[in-house]
Amino acid sequence: MLRTILIILAVCVTAPHTSAAQDLQSLLQSHQRLVAKPSAKTVGVVLDDLASSGLSGTADFLEKWRNKDLWVRKEDGRFFYTAMAEAQLTLLDIDTGQVVGTTSKKHLKQIRPNGGVRKAIASALVQFQLNDPDITRRKAAVDAIARAMTADQLAPLEAAIDNEADADLKAQKMRLAVMLRASFAPTTEARLAAITALSDDISVDTRAVLNQILTTKRHAAVSIPSDLNVATQLMVGKDISSLDAYAMLVDANLAQPRVKASDIVSVLSANIENGRVAGTPVRLLDTIEAREKAYDSLAAAGAAPTRITDAAAQRLIETHVFFDSYSESDIRVTAAAKLALDGIETRVAISHAADLTLDALSLASIYFLAAIGLAVTFGVMGVINMAHGEFIMMGAYTGYVVQLFVPNYTLSIIVALPLAFAVTFAAGVALERLVIRWLYHRPLETLLATFGISIALQQLAKNIFGTQARPLTSPAWLDGAWVINDVIAISYIRIAIFVLAIIFLSLIVWILRKTRLGLEMRAVTQNPGMAASMGINPDRINMLTFGLGSGIAGIAGVAIGLYAKVTSEMGADYIVQSFMTVVVGGVGNVWGTLAGATMIGFLQKGIEWFNPSNTLAAQTYMILFIILFIQFRPKGIVALRGRAAGD
C-alpha cells in the first residue's frame, strides 16, 4: 500500500502542473516534494499554481507556510496545521480548519522554509492580501509593498485598485502604483507619465523612488562607452582627487597597485645578502631615494613588482577618463527623473523655510505672551520684577486646579483664562502695595526683593503641588497638527497660542489707546509730574498697571502650560527671555515688545537651524548677539519717548 502511494505521489510530482484542483490539499499534493522541501529556485512553481487556483484558503496557507506552522505527515505526505493538545498535536485540515485527529510529533515533520523561500512566499502573499476582505490585511499588504517595491508587484496592485472600497486606502494604492510605474512600467512613455505625476509630490518616499532611478556608479575607462547613460564626467583635482582617480584605475584593472613605502621596506629587508641589497650597502639605505633606487633594481631583476612612479601614475590618469553613469539605461527616464527631483528639491527647500518661519512665529508668540505683562510694568513703573515668571507659574497652576473641578477640557480652559487673570491680578496688586511701592526709584533693592519673592513663591508651589510636573490638558480639538505637506506641520496648540497672542496684542493696544486707563498709563509713562498736575494719581496708576501686567502673565501661564510642563520652576524658564524681549524691543512699548519677541524667536530658530544638535549653544549665541545689538541700539528697536527715554 505504501509503495502504491509513493508511486502515485511520484507521478503527481512529475506530471504537468495544474491549477484545476478542487481543494488546497489536492493542489499541494501535486507539488508534494516542492512544498515539503522548498527551495528558492523551485518554490515559484508552487506559488504560481496557488495564485491561479482561486482557492479561498490560499492566503492562510501561505501565512502558515511562511511562519513555519505547516506540518507534513510522514506516513502519507499530507499537510496539516496543528494545535498543541497536552503531549500530542491536534491535526487541523488545511481546507476547512476542522480537527481531523491527533498524533505525536514523531509521526509529523515541521516544514521549515529558509529565508529565501520565506521572502518569495511573503511576496506572493501580498498579492492575496491586497484583496483580502479584512482592511487591516489590505493595509499591511500596501505597507509591505511600499517598504520593498519590486516589478512583480505592479500588476497585482493595479488590479486591486478598482475594487477597493476604502477611499483612503484606494488613494494610497493609486499613489503607490504611480511609484511602481515610475520604476518598473514596461514602456518608457508609461514611466515618463508616472515620473511627471510624481513631480508634484515632495514626500520622502517619492524622493526615494526618484533617487533610486538616478543611482549612479563610478567608472574609469580609456574613453566613455557609447552604450552607457552617463550622468557626469569627473574632473581630476576638482571632482575627485588624484589618489581616488588612480584607485579607480586599479579597481578597473587599468593600472597596477602602487607600492607603498612599507612594502618597499619589507621587500628590501627580505632581500638582504651579506649586508647589501641589490649591491647597495644597507647602511646607505637611509633615505627614501636610496630605498626606491634599490627597490627598482630588485624589480628590474624580477625579484619584486614594478614600482609606479608619481610621473607614471599621473600619465595613466591623464590618458583615462572618469565618469558617473546611471544604473538606469534609458536617457529619457533619467532626464525626466532629474528634472522632477530638482523641482521637488526646490519646493522642499521652500517648505523648509516656511516650516522654520512658522516655528519662529510660534516661538515669538510664546515669548510675546510671556513678556507683554513685563513690558507694561517695566515701561510704566521702571520696576525690574524678577517674580514675573512666578506669575506665569501661578496662572498655569490655576488652569491645573480648574481642570480638577471641571473635567470638560474646553470649558475648563474658558474658565481658567479669566480666573488666572483675576488670581494673578490680585497677587500683583498685593505685591505692589506691600513691597514695591516702598522701593520706587531704588532698582537694586526692587530687584533683590522681587527675586526673593520669586524664590518664596516657587517654594510655596512646591509645598502645595509637589515637585512633579502637573498636567494641563488641552481640549481634544487642539490635539494633533496642521499638516500642509511632508515638511510643513505645526501643532494646533501652537496655532492657538499664536491666535491668543494676536488677541492680546489687539486688546492691549485697545486699552492703551481707547480707554481712560490707557490714557492715564501713557501719561504717567511719558511725564508723571505733568500727569499728576492734571489730576491723575500716579500711585493708583502704578498699582493698576502692575496688577494688569501680572494678570496678563497669569493668562500667558495658562497658554504656555497647555504644551509645556507645569512645575514650580516653569517661570524661571521664561524670565530671561522675557527681559531680553522687553529690552531688545524697547522698554514700555507694546509694539517694541512684539518686535523684540519676533526678533528673538526668529534669531533663536535660525541659530538652532545652523546648529540643531546643541540648543544650549544656540541660546548662548543668541545672548551674545543681543548684547552686541544693545551696544548699537541701547533703547531697543522701538525707542520710547518721555520718562523712560530720559532714564
Number of domains observed in the structure of the chain: 4
pLDDT tens digits along 323-336? 999 999 899 999 99
Whether residue 12 is found in the same domain as residue 114: yes
- CATH number for the domain spanning 484: value is 1.10.3470
Query: In this structure, is residue 272 part of a structural domain?
Result: yes
Residue keyed to cell 632581500: 271
Angle at 594 between CA 588 and CA 597, to 5 degrees: 105
Q: What pLDDT score does 115 carry?
A: 84
Computed from CA positions of residues 236, 242, 244, 248, in that sequence, does the dihedral angle turn out positive or negative? positive
Would you say 142 and 130 are in contact if contact means Cβ atoms under 8 Å apart?
yes
Q: Is the pLDDT of residue 342 over 90?
A: yes
Q: What pLDDT score does 160 carry?
A: 86
Q: Is the pLDDT of residue 641 over 60?
A: no
Residue 209, Cα to own-chain centre: how many angstroms? 18
- What's the distance, Cα to Cα, between the start and end of the chain in Å? 113
* Average pLDDT of the segment spanning 1-16: 36
Q: What pLDDT score does 7 carry?
A: 35
**CA-CA distance, 617 to 9, in Å (whole number)?**
75
Q: What pLDDT score does 457 carry?
A: 92
Q: What pLDDT score does 13 carry?
A: 37
**CA-CA distance, 640 to 508, in Å (whole number)?**
17
Q: Is the pLDDT of residue 136 over 80?
A: yes
Q: How many other β-carbons are positioned within 10 Å of the β-carbon of residue 93?
A: 18
Would you say 375 and 443 are in contact if contact means Cβ atoms under 8 Å apart?
no
Query: In this structure, is residue 92 part of a structural domain?
Result: yes
Q: What pLDDT score does 340 carry?
A: 93
Whether residue 94 is found in the same domain as residue 187: no
Q: Is the pLDDT of residue 521 over 90?
A: no
Whether residue 203 is found in the same domain as residue 163: yes
Q: What pLDDT score does 8 carry?
A: 32
| Residue 417 banded pLDDT, cuts 50, 70, 90 | very high
| Residue 411 banded pLDDT, cuts 50, 70, 90 | very high
Residues 6+ apart with CB under 8 A from 404: none
Query: In this structure, is residue 331 part of a structural domain?
Result: no
Which of 66, 96, 120 is the endpoint of a domain? 120
| 610 exposure class (CB count in 10 Å sphere: 0-12, 13-18, 19+) | exposed
* Average pLDDT of the segment spanning 396-416: 92
Q: What pLDDT score does 635 carry?
A: 77
* Average pLDDT of the segment spanning 465-487: 85
* Average pLDDT of the segment spanning 237-252: 91
* Average pLDDT of the segment spanning 447-462: 91
Whether residue 294 is found in the same domain as residue 269: yes
pLDDT tens digits along 190-214? 999 999 999 888 888 899 999 999 9
- What is the widest separation between alpha-carbon atoms in the chain? 124
| Listed range (415-419, 446-450, 470-474, 632-636) with the worst mean pLDDT | 632-636
Q: Is the pLDDT of residue 2 over 50?
A: no
Whether residue 361 is found in the same domain as residue 423: yes
Which of 196, 215, 234 is the endpoint of a domain? 215
Query: In this structure, is residue 343 part of a structural domain?
Result: no
**589 or 260: whose pLDDT is higher?**
260
* Average pLDDT of the segment spanning 256-260: 86
**CA-CA distance, 44 to 30, in Å (whole number)?**
14
Q: What pLDDT score does 459 carry?
A: 92
**380 or 278: whose pLDDT is higher?**
278
Whether residue 374 is found in the same domain as residue 423: yes
* Average pLDDT of the segment spanning 463-470: 88
Query: In this structure, is residue 376 part of a structural domain?
Result: yes
| Residue-by-residue DSSP string for 252-275 | TTSSPPPPPHHHHHHHHHHT-BTT
Q: What pLDDT score does 588 carry?
A: 63
pLDDT tens digits along 560-619? 888 888 898 888 878 888 888 888 887 667 788 888 888 888 888 888 887 766 666 777
Whether residue 255 is found in the same domain as residue 352: no
Whether residue 549 is found in the same domain as residue 614: yes
When computed from its CA atoms, the radius of gyration of the chain, rounded to whole angstroms, is 39
**CA-CA distance, 300 to 296, in Å (whole number)?**
6
Which of 262, 291, 326 is the endpoint of a domain? 326
Whether residue 607 is found in the same domain as residue 492: yes
pLDDT tens digits along 66-101? 888 888 888 888 888 888 766 678 888 888 888 888
| Listed range (18-22, 134-138, 331-335) with the worst mean pLDDT | 18-22
* Average pLDDT of the segment spanning 633-640: 73
Q: What pLDDT score does 401 carry?
A: 93
User: Crossing angle for the helix pair 331-381 and 572-585, nearest 10 degrees?
Assistant: 90
Q: Is the pLDDT of residue 396 over 90?
A: yes
Query: In this structure, is residue 243 part of a structural domain?
Result: yes
Task: Kindly report the backbone phi and psi dihedral angles of residue 321, in degrees, each rounded to the nearest multiple of 5, phi listed first.
Answer: -115, 155
Q: What pLDDT score does 86 carry?
A: 63
Whether residue 584 is found in the same domain as residue 601: yes
Q: What pLDDT score does 5 carry?
A: 34
**CA-CA distance, 482 to 490, in Å (whole number)?**
5
- Percent of the chain topping pLDDT 90: 23
**CA-CA distance, 139 to 169, in Å (whole number)?**
7
Would you say 410 and 477 are in contact if contact means Cβ atoms under 8 Å apart?
yes
Q: Is the pLDDT of residue 477 over 60?
A: yes
| Listed range (141-145, 228-232, 239-243, 399-403) with the worst mean pLDDT | 141-145
pLDDT tens digits along 504-518? 888 888 888 888 888
Per the structure, the complete domain to which residue 43 belongs is given by: 2-120
Q: How many other β-carbons are positioned within 10 Å of the β-carbon of residue 189?
A: 10
Query: In this structure, is residue 390 part of a structural domain?
Result: yes
Computed from CA positions of residues 119, 121, 125, 126, in that sequence, does the dihedral angle turn out positive or negative? positive
Would you say 392 and 599 are in contact if contact means Cβ atoms under 8 Å apart?
no
In angstroms, the Cα distances linking 608 to 291, 486, 536, 620 are 55, 20, 48, 11
Q: Is the pLDDT of residue 123 over 50?
A: yes
Q: What pLDDT score does 626 carry?
A: 83
* Average pLDDT of the segment spanning 432-443: 86
Strand, coil or helix: what is 326? strand
Q: Which amino acid is at 227?
A: D
Whether residue 107 is found in the same domain as residue 167: no
Mean pLDDT for the chain overall: 84
In the numeric block, which cell numbers belong to residue 285? 639605505
* Average pLDDT of the segment spanning 409-430: 93
**Which of the residue ranges 58-67, 456-465, 499-508, 585-594 has the most confident prediction, judged by mean pLDDT?**
456-465
| Residue-by-residue DSSP string for 282-324 | GGG--SHHHHHHHHHHHHHTTSSPPPPPHHHHHHHHHTSEEEE
Q: Is the pLDDT of residue 382 over 80?
A: no
Whether residue 515 is found in the same domain as residue 428: yes
Q: Is the pLDDT of residue 179 over 90?
A: yes
Q: What pLDDT score does 1 carry?
A: 37
| Residue 554 banded pLDDT, cuts 50, 70, 90 | very high
Q: What pLDDT score does 85 carry?
A: 64
Query: In this structure, is residue 535 part of a structural domain?
Result: yes
| Listed range (342-351, 375-384, 562-571) with the worst mean pLDDT | 375-384
Q: What pLDDT score does 17 carry?
A: 41
